[in-house]
Structure formats: structure tokens, C-alpha cells
Amino acid sequence: MPKKIRKKHLLYLLFLISYSTFGQFSGTNLFESQYGQIPNDFSNFSSTYNRTLLNYTYNNFKAGLTLENYYTPYQDRNYTRLTQGSLQYTSKWINVRLGSYQETIGRGLLLRSFEIPGAILEDLSYRSRYYFQRDIFGFNTTLKLKNSTTKIIYGKPLNNVFPPNQDQSLRRTDEIFAVYSDYNFYNQTLGASVLNVKNTSGNQLLGMTTISGKLSSVFSYYFEGAKEIGDNNFSDFSSTSTYAYYGNLNLNFENLGISLEGKNYNNFIIGSGINEPPALIKEHTYKTLNRSTHVAQPLNESGYQVEAFYTLANASIITFNHAVAINNLVNKKFTFEEYFTEYSFSIKDKHDVKIFADYAIDPLKQEENRISLGAYFDWKSSKKSSLKTEFEFQTFERNGISTQNYVVIAGYSYQSKWIINLVSEISNDQFLTSNPLKSWLGCNLKYQVNNKNNIALFGGQRRGGPACNAGICYEVLDFKGIEARWNYRF
Amino acid sequence: MKLILVSLISLFATCLQAQKIADFRLQDSQNSMKSFLELKGEKLTVIDFWATWCKPCIKAIPELNIIYENYKEKGVAFISINCDGPRSIAKAIPMGNSLKINYPILLDINSDVKNQLNLSVFPTLIIINSEGKIVWVHEGYASNYKEEVIGELEKQLKAN
């Protein structure tokens, strides 16, 4: 058959299949362009980052691809790479995934993968930007019966310290195989899991058990305990053994909610860090507090967290949080303590106000007597627009030297369409500057074009430092310059 | 030229359909598994994606509660999907109860549904019609949130 005719038949076949299948494409695209510099840069330079996520769904099947691209004047930082690819079959009872997927066992003691939406990671060593996620590449199947769930997990978790332009063998050094199963009876769930991790250090076998449930209309609980079992020494809980446990109790009394959590982790970093035990530290949205979040150390950490919130009749909320984390590291004991309270309320049923106060002692950050105070105002200037202002102040002592941080934010928003704000920060932290004061001033503008498109612009200086988002803490770099971001959903 | 034309037509054919939601099953606040098909509304389903650490989400919930009370008898079902990860999931149910969420609260601790729908912002509110198609997506919270949601519900109820 002539080549030309064969091609024509294939094209018509493709055309017919398209119409008859009524499959659907969907996805997102994140594009960001920067012109500026980060610490250690001597001059400004421009860079562009793009991430396209494309899905095709047909009945119970779904295929996905993620393409990332980073371009700068420096060839060694650049890349264009398919960073994720997946095939998935989902039905009421079974879910099968091949390729890239995310999976967490229990509360993350053994395994946790994640994606921080919209976050682009960059560090001072590789200087390459990439999407902040930690997926697993392999095979996963979940069987969901009426009273039980069973998962079989195999694959190689991503080590996101290394950007996509590095050797892929560096990025996925751990090979895991895990089985998880649970059974639900009378509103209680009993679960168990076994995980084997293989890497250049050898094999490590860990077991985990969970129990959770509702004991009454006001009381529910969760407990998870894990231990290394490859050595067959199930009763060894000495300082050299590998074990972890986490538990929480929840109480609800009308408008009052109380959450109590406890943890004890010992030598519990698995592989290159494929797990993420619950930190039991409040993740704040206020800048000064978010930057000061204690990062859990699974090598050795014990502690607890209690949080209570009370909703008043007019929808005001009072929140109280207290957390303690004790680390025994390098033959020394470090005790982190934090007390936080917040009151959020409305004035005349339309203007919103939030005020907070926080006291903490953080020996790992060398911050003693850390006091943070702040207030946030959302003043409705009309039915569709509002003025937002925020003030934060923080002071602490480090090695006898007093340090202060200030944050002032002033903004305006019109419906969900336009948001503009000026962010100003000042600090005399000697870890950041040898000058008496360091300041940052930046302007953010966000425009929601429609349901599918939004554009965000930044100009000025943005302070970096630790940041915590969706339970994951990471380092953000200072940035000075201009930045444009476009998010598109299709 | 013909090749380009046919490829374009094929591509558009597959793009014509609005995104449909696939059935999912998640644990609810009573520790039992619930599916979307069990909870969906006769005419419309409203799903609110939120997290305990998300302040605008907490602001939006009392307004959604009011909308729920006004529309629950009109064939509109509401589902609250909490997307807290392991770090803060312990607070999800007490906070949901404290905020008086009277419709089902499901826990998406592994972000299965969130990732299925490619969501990246909290809060996100979606409206699904009786055919399972996502007809409206609203990201964030702003001063006329309640009016916007009600306006869209009325529009979709008329279209349905």
C-alpha cells in the first residue's frame, strides 16, 4: 500500500477515535520570569521557568505528563525535562497507578510524598529552579473494599535536594516496597504496614501499626507506632534503636475544639528522608512566626502540642496553642517551647481584625525569650473592595544580643480580581547583616483574569529565610528584582 | 496542510468537553468511607477545599454555612474536603465542628482529589452539575464571596 494512503487512513482513524472517545484534556501551566539577583550574585540576570502539567482522561483511565523547563544565561543551570509521567486506572474498588504518584502511609512516619502548589525551589548550590514536590516513581495499587483498604507500593521516591538537571540516579537513590492494610469496624480502624527500603547502605525493614476511631460524638483519637524490625529485636527501644510513635486526641464540645498530640522519634530518618513524621508545631501564616517555625528533627525528638479553638456566636474565633519539642542531640538537650494565642473578630459584621501574641524559646535557632506580636486588619471600603494592613513585631535574644524584626504590609483588593500590596521588612539580625539595619521593600500585584488565568507581578526586594507551607519547611532565598508569573488552567 | 488541519480538529474534539469529576472515596469525620456518588446532589454539588492553616478558608466557611442552609432543600449538596497534611490533620475535625460545618467533611490527607483536579489554591470552591461536569471554579476568598457563590448557584440551577 502506498505510504501516502496509509498516512491518510491513520489520520482519519485518529480523527474518528477523537470524536468517538470524547476523552478530555486538562492541565495547568505555570510560567515565571525573573530579572534580578539573589544572594551571592554580583549582577542581575534574567531567567524563565515553565511547568506544564497535561492530563488526558478517558473513562476510568488517566494519563499525565509534566514538562519543566528552566532557562538562564548560564548553561549549567538550564534544563528541559519530562519530570513526571503517569498512567492511572480508577474504579470504585481499585486504583492502579504506574509512573509518578504520591503516597503517604498513615501520618507520614514511614513514608510521605507531597507537592507544594505553586512553590518553585532554588538553592545557592545548584542554582537551578524547579517545582517543589516529592513524588515516587514506580507502581502503586489500592484496593478499597467496604471495610478495608489495602495498598501495595513500589518505587523510587524523589530526593528533591537535587534539581532536574542532575543525574536521575542521584535524585532517586532509595527503592521502596511497602504493603499497608487496614480494617474498619464499629467506627474504629486498625491498620498495619511493612516497608522495605533499599539503597547503597543496604536494606532496612520497618513495621508500623495504627489505630484510630471515634469513641463518642465528642471524642476521637489516632495512634501510629513504627519500628525497625529487620533486626528481629522488637523490644529494643534503646537510644541506638530506630522507632517512632505519634498520637492525637480530639475533643469537640459545641463551639470548643481541642486537639492534643504527642510524639517520640528516635533515629527515624528513613533513607534519604522519604518520611516526614508529624512536627507537632503550629504552622503560622504570619511572616515572622512562619519564619521562626521549629523544624522537627526525626533523629531525636519528643514532645507534644495542644491547640484549642473556640468559635463565638458572632463567628469570632479564639485560638490557643502550646507546643514543646525536646531534642537530645550531640549529648545535649534542647527544649523548644511555644505559646501562641490569636483572636479574630469582625467589627460591624464587615471589617475583619486578627490580633496575635506569641512567646517562644528556641535553642536550636539560638533564640531566647522570643516575643512576637501582630495585628491584621481587613477594612471593607465598599461592597466589593477592601483595604488590608498588617503589622508584626518580633524580638528575641541571641547570645546576649537583642534582635528585632518588623513587618508592615499595606494592600488593597477588589473582589477576587485585583490584589495589590506593599511589603516592608526591617531587621537588625546579625545573622543577616553586619549593618545596624537591613530592610526589604517589595510590591505584589495579582490579577485574576478569569476562572482559568491569573497573573502575579513582583518588584523590589523580598526577604528569604525558612518558610513552611502545607506542613513542609524549606529555605527561600532573598530576591531583588522583578518577577512575573502566569498561572493557567485548562 | 491537511495533516495540520486534521490534527487540530482531533485536538479540539477532545478538548470540547468540560472537565468531569471522577468518583472518589475518602474518610469522613465519622471515620467511615464516603464516596462522591453517595454524597452528590440531585442537581448540583458544591465542594469546598480548605485547610486549617488557611485563614481565608476559615473566613469563607461561615458564609458557606449560610448558603448551605438556604440551598440544601433545592437539590444542591455540599461537601467539605479538608486538605490538611499529616502535620495538621489532627485539627481538621475539631475545627470543622467548631465552625459548625453541618455538611459532610471528608479528609483528603494524601491530596488524592486535590491532585486529580489540579488544584493549587486554598480555598477553592467548585460547582459540579448533575452530569458530573465541573461548571465553576472559584479560587480564594474576597469581600463579596457569598454573593458570587449565590449568583453562580442561581445561574447553574436555571441551566440545570
Please report the pLDDT score of residue A3 as a whole number.
Answer: 47
Specify whether the CB–CB gap between B27 and B107 falls below 8 A. yes
- Asked whether the beta carbons of residue B9 and residue A18 sit closer than 8 angstroms, the reply is yes
Which site among B21, B26, B33, B91 would you substitute to test the A interface, given the most A Cβ atoms closer than 10 Å to its Cβ? B91
Q: Nearest Cα to A212, choosing from A241, A182, A174?
A: A182
B30 touches chain A (CB under 8 A): yes
In this prediction, residue A467 carries a pLDDT of 81
A276 reaches B (C-beta below 8 A): yes
Report which of A213, A234, A237 is spatially closest to residue A223, judged by C-alpha positions: A213
For residue A207, pLDDT beyond 90: yes
Helical (H) or strand (E) element with B30: none
Burial class of residue A295 in the structure, from the number of CB atoms within 10 Å of its CB (0-12 exposed, 13-18 middle, 19+ buried): middle
Residue A450: Cβ-neighbour burial (10 angstroms; 0-12, 13-18, 19+): exposed
Instruction: Specify the pLDDT at position A9.
Output: 59
The structure's pTM equals 0.86
* Residues of chain B found within 8 Å of residue A62, distances taken between Cβ atoms: 22, 116
Residues of B in contact with A487 (CB under 8 A): 120
- pLDDT value at position B16? 44
Only one residue has cell 521502596, namely A176
| A357: confidence class by pLDDT, cuts 50, 70, 90 | very high
The burial of A255, by beta-carbon neighbours within 10 Å (0-12 exposed, 13-18 middle, 19 or more buried), is given as middle
A130: closest CA among A38, A42, A61, A30? Answer: A30
A74 against A230, higher pLDDT: A74
- Tell whether A285 is within 8 A of chain B (Cβ): yes
B3 has a chain A CB within 8 A of its CB:
yes
CA distance A320 to A479: 34
| B142/A18 Cβ within 8 A | no
Instruction: Report yes or no: B98 at the A interface, CB cutoff 8 Å.
Output: yes
pLDDT of residue A7: 62
Instruction: Mutate one of A415, A417, A420, A454 to test the B interface: name it (highest B CB count within 10 A).
Output: A415
pLDDT at residue B12, as a whole number: 47
pLDDT digits 0-9 by tens, A18-44: 544 567 888 899 999 999 998 777 788
Q: Which helix (H) or strand (E) holds B80?
A: strand B76-82
Give the nearest chain B residue to A259 (CA atoms).
B91
Q: Which residues of A touch B119 (CB under 8 A)?
A: 117
ipTM of the complex: 0.75
CB contact under 8 A, A112 and B139: no
Q: What is the mean pLDDT of residues A366-377?
A: 95
Q: Residue A417 above 50 pLDDT?
A: yes
Q: Is the pLDDT of residue A4 over 80?
A: no
Lowest-pLDDT choice from A12-26, A96-110, A129-143, A345-359: A12-26
Query: Most B CBs within 10 Å: which of A10, A11, A65, A144, as the mutation test of the B interface?
Result: A11
Chain B 63-82, CB below 8 Å of chain A: which residues?
A: none
Q: Is A213:A219 a contact under the CB 8 Å cutoff?
A: no
Provide the pLDDT confidence category of residue A474 given band limits of 50, 70 and 90: confident
**Separation CA A357–CA A354 (nearest Å):** 10
Residue B37, min C-alpha distance to chain A (Å) = 10
Does A225 reach chain B within 8 Å, measured CB to CB?
no
Distance CA A354, CA A61 (A): 46
Give the length of chain A: 490
Strands (E), A43-125: 45-58, 61-71, 79-90, 94-101, 104-105, 111-112, 114-121
**pLDDT at residue A194 in the model:** 97
* DSSP category for residue A60: T
- Is A90 in Cβ contact with B95 (below 8 Å)? no
Residues with Cβ within 8 Å of A483's Cβ and at least 6 positions away in sequence, in order, are A32, A33, A34, A35, A36, A457, A458, A459
Q: Which residues of A touch B141 (CB under 8 A)?
A: 416
Question: Inter-chain contact B137–A489, Cβ cutoff 8 Å?
Answer: yes
Structure confidence at residue A237 (pLDDT): 81
Tell me which of B143, B145, B150 to substitute to probe the interface with A (most A C-beta atoms closer than 10 Å): B143
Q: Which three cell numbers stand for residue A297?
A: 528533627
Using a CB-CB cut-off of 8 Å, the residues of chain B touching A352 are 59
Higher pLDDT, A191 or A235: A191
Q: Cα separation of A236 and A223, whole Å?
A: 20
Q: What is the pLDDT of residue B11?
A: 52
Instruction: In whole angstroms, give the CA distance from residue A163 to residue A129.
Output: 7
Closest-CA residue of B relative to A113 is B110
Greatest CA separation for chain A: 87
Sign of CA dihedral A409, A412, A417, A418: negative
Spell out the per-residue pLDDT of chain B, length 160, in tens. 555 554 554 554 444 445 778 888 888 988 888 999 999 999 999 999 999 888 888 889 999 999 999 999 999 999 999 998 887 888 888 888 888 899 999 999 888 888 888 787 889 999 999 999 999 988 888 778 898 999 999 999 998 7
The C-alpha of B67 sits at a distance from chain A's nearest C-alpha, in angstroms, of 15
